[in-house]
Structure 1
Amino acid sequence: MSTFDPTAYLPDDLLERIRERAPIHDRENTFPEQDLDELRTAGYLSILVPVERGGAGLGLAEAAVLQQRLATAAPATALAINMHLVWTGVAKVFSDRGVPGLEFVQDGAAAGEVFAFGISEGGNDLVLFGSDTDAVPTDDGGYAFTGTKIFTSLAPVWTRLGLHGLDTTSADAPKLVFAFVERTDAVVTGDDWDTLGMRATQSRTTRLDGARADAAHVVRRIDPGPNPDPIVFGIFSVFEILLASVYTGIARRALDLAVLTAQQRRSKKTGVAYSQDPDIRWRIADMGLAYDALPPQIAALARDVDEKVDNGARWFALLSGVKHRAITMSKHVVDQAMLVAGGGSYFSSNELSRLYRDVLAGAFHPSDPESAHATAASSWLGPIES
């Protein structure tokens, strides 16, 4: 049995170049164009595309490992690339299950196109199950979308935006429409991304004013609300697993930095390395115990998606749960790493300071803590009685 080698797709020298640029993009609030260019050249944008369509043919389990590795160098770059990988991952979910409709995503990714994720809307806690964006049918079988999307990562560079909107005018309305639009004058990207952390994602607000998707790029029309359609499972599964991967990668980097600091620092009082201090050892052990739980969980769920395991109604609790645990674990580990490193980590030039700010973004991605707990409660206790 062959062993997966992450360095074949993310070589050490590429990772180090990305790591060196990360503080610059954070400080200057700029998108990491060089990172994207180098990752594209390395074939990273098509790791989830089948070999026969020009990609690497990796599974979600391997992509999750790679995203953890990339996040150790530049969390914001990893999070931005995540959104492209979500769509190529959904395309893989489709093709693995014999569902047509997203082959153009696979072909586009293999050709170097960048796919962005345009689902989030201000105040829309329905997320995948509803939309405030108007989807109006056009005469050619396509749709025109009007509305506002928030947190559109890859905003300066995407070539196609995958999004959803609500069709309220067709004979079978209402229908949620999932489609892809190109960058035209009908799509306006704001310049409003000035945030505490994850600054290099450049997840700006996107305003749509009749942005058109032709019939070939209208992927799904489904009923609003919870739905077993492959588009819902595909997005939710790939999104949650890859998000968990990025934040688990942040935790790994914080843990490694804490270990390095403990080995290098010495007590003025005793002359002994901090790595021999019982309190520091306990703190790092606590970080390690928390971190070690997540990579196997991510790997197991990703393999289930790859192998088409039927977890039935448990899927949503399992997926929202692994994302929630990754976020809470990662924040805890970074908190502990800051304490191990001492006051120097409080300076903005310190890498841990950036990790501390970056990790805070995790709580704002779906599923948020409230949604994750509600899903888990329903899984174990059943729905709330009306």
Structure 2
Amino acid sequence: MTGSTPETLLDDALLARFRERAARYDRENAFFHDDLAELREAGYLRALVPVELGGLGWSLSDAVRAQMRLAGAAPATALGINMHLVWTGVASVLRARGDDALEFLLREAAEGELFAFGISEAGNDLMLFGSRTTAEPQPDGSYRYSGRKIFTSLSPAWTRLGTTGLDTTSPDGPKIVYGFIDREDPDVRVLDDWDTLGMRASQSRTTVLDGAVAASDRIVRRLDPGPNPDPLVFAIFACFELLLGAVYTGIGARALDLAVAAARRRSSMKTGLTLAQEPDVRRRIAEAALLQDGIELQLVALARDVDERVDHGTRWFAKLSGMKVRATETARQVVDQCVRVGGGSTYFAGDELGRLQRDVLAGVFHPSSDDAAKQTIATAWLGPIES
């Protein structure tokens, strides 16, 4: 399906089926198996793979637009598939800059492999810059990883896990080691521990690595701990923050549509008019729309900057972390206004706006956090704190 666009691949009929299933997945705390099958069939898992490698050749800005669209129908499905898109996006960003370290990933994604993101750890606020997981070098150049990774989306279905660990035993250590592990590894255990307030269908379970092996040709970087200008770090940061922001922005867009429909449908006994004629309701809708329009434009524009290799210099990380925080916080504000327009029915289990309010809350738990983003932004503008 080369030549497809987010609008043609994720057509209205497909999204309608996803939206219908989303309520059931949420109610049953079930993984989005049927959605995944349809996305795979449509070629969505190959969207960011270059055409010459068997993919659709989308840009990162195309993927951002697509994820906004998908999240408007099925937020947890969009969040789950986001992690596969992050890795294929990282590989494409690196390839466009002359780095083919992850070309194997693009080829395997074209063949149907599903990649998950296994980096988050409980209590690790260093994220990419540190790890509680150990990475033990082996004589053949492979590494054995031991640790617990949390929020591993796609847990029931992933076939490849991109992960990190800390090598403290090599002479040049410590090093943060990036590698990819196969699902079939007997030293990988996925716990059935996902029972959350929202984003339930993502099934982002805990993954336990008990010496799981990443082969030598699947070790893609060994980096010093701490902030690092390596292109891999930039690519992960850019794809993760922008695609994540797209998911929550898509939730805001859907909430606004639902609020508009509710305002036109509901009426006031006091005035006899629909709520769409009430000044307070009109103000809420206007405020939500004002926020929503701005954030959509910002997301696509910054993703296009990545595609076009615009040089933001030392402010790239400030822009990316700030974009994620603005996107998730804006989505929360938009959904809050929309729930108020929707009224008390949104408080009942099964109401779509009520589910969006639960799903959108998850945005505060993804990196970068509000505090971390502000520290990054302050450093970009003021320089580091003097010791």
Scaled to the shorter chain, the TM-score interval is over 0.9
The answer as to 2:120 corresponding to 1:120 is yes
CA RMSD of aligned residues (A): 1.0
Q: Residue 295 and residue 278 in structure 1: after superposition, are their counterparts in 2 closer, same or farther (change >3 A)?
A: same
Q: CA deviation at 1:370?
A: 0.7
Paired position in structure 1 for 2:83: 83
Other-structure match for 2:28: 28
* Corresponding position of 1:95: 95
In the TM superposition, what are the counterparts of 1:149-160 in structure 2 within 5 Å? Answer: 149-160=149-160
Which residue identity is paired with 2:120?
S
The residue that corresponds to 1:277 in the other structure is 278
- Report the Cα distance in structure 1 between the residues aligned to 2:91 and 2:248, rounded to whole angstroms: 23
| SS of aligned partner of 2:67 | helix
Off by >4 Å, runs of 4+ in structure 1: none
Measured in 2, the distance between the counterparts of 1:230 and 1:381 equals 24
Query: 1:241-289: CA deviations, max 9, x gaps?
Result: 0011000000000000000111111222222111111110001000011
Could you tell me which runs of 5 or more consecutive residues in structure 2 were left unpaired when the two chains were aligned.
Answer: none
| SS in structure 2 at match of 1:240 | helix
Aligned amino acid, residue 215 of structure 1: S
Looking at structure 1, the residues matched to 352 and 9 of structure 2 have their Cα atoms a distance apart, in angstroms, of 24
The answer for the alignment partner of 1:237 in structure 2 is 238
SS at match of 1:293: helix
**Percent of residue pairs identical:** 61
Q: Aligned partners of 2:311 and 2:7: how far apart in 1?
A: 32
Secondary structure of residue in 2 paired with 1:144: strand
* Structure 1 residue 4, shift from structure 2 partner: 8.0
Gaps of 5+ in 1: none
Aligned counterparts of 2:13 and 2:336: Cα–Cα separation in 1: 29
SS of 2:196's equivalent in the other structure is coil
Give the 5 Å matches for 1:176-187. 176-183=176-183, 184-187=185-188
Q: Aligned residue for 1:265?
A: 266
Tell me the TM-score normalised to structure 1 length: 0.98
Question: Following TM superposition, by how much is the alpha carbon of 1:216 offset from its aligned partner in structure 2, in angstroms?
Answer: 1.1
Structure 2 matches for 1:245-260, cutoff 5 A?
245-260=246-261
Q: Secondary structure at the match of 1:272?
A: coil
Q: How does 1:123-202 map to 2 (within 5 A)?
A: 123-183=123-183, 184-202=185-203
| C-alpha separation in 2, matches of 1:122 and 1:367 | 15
Contact (CA 8 Å) 1:102, 1:219: kept in 2 or not? yes
Match of 2:315 in 1: 314
Letter in 2 for 1:55: G
Give the AA of the match of 1:137.
P
> In the TM superposition, what whole-angstrom CA distance separates every residue of 1:47-86 from its partner, at most 9, and x where no partner exists?
0000000000000000000000000001000000000000
One-letter identity of the residue aligned with 2:197: L
Preserved CA contact (<8 Å) 2:260 2:285: yes
**Counterpart residue identity of residue 48, structure 1:** L
Q: Which amino acid aligns with 1:245?
A: A
In structure 1, the partner of 2:53 is 53
* Residue of structure 2 equivalent to 1:302: 303
Distance 1:4 1:314, change over 3 A: farther
**Structure 1, residues 22-49: CA drift from partner, whole Å, max 9, x if none?**
0111111110000001000000001000
Aligned residues of 1:4 and 1:62 also touching (Cα < 8 A): no
Q: CA deviation at 1:348?
A: 1.2
Q: Give the structure 1 partner of residue 207 of structure 2.
A: 206
What residue identity is the alignment partner of 2:164?
Answer: H
CA contact (8 A) 2:292 2:334 kept: yes
Comparing 66-75 and 258-267, the one that deviates more: 258-267
Tell me how far apart the structure 1 counterparts of residues 192 and 58 of structure 2 sit (CA, whole Å). 35
- 1:286 alignment counterpart: 287
Question: TM-score normalised to the size of structure 2?
Answer: 0.98
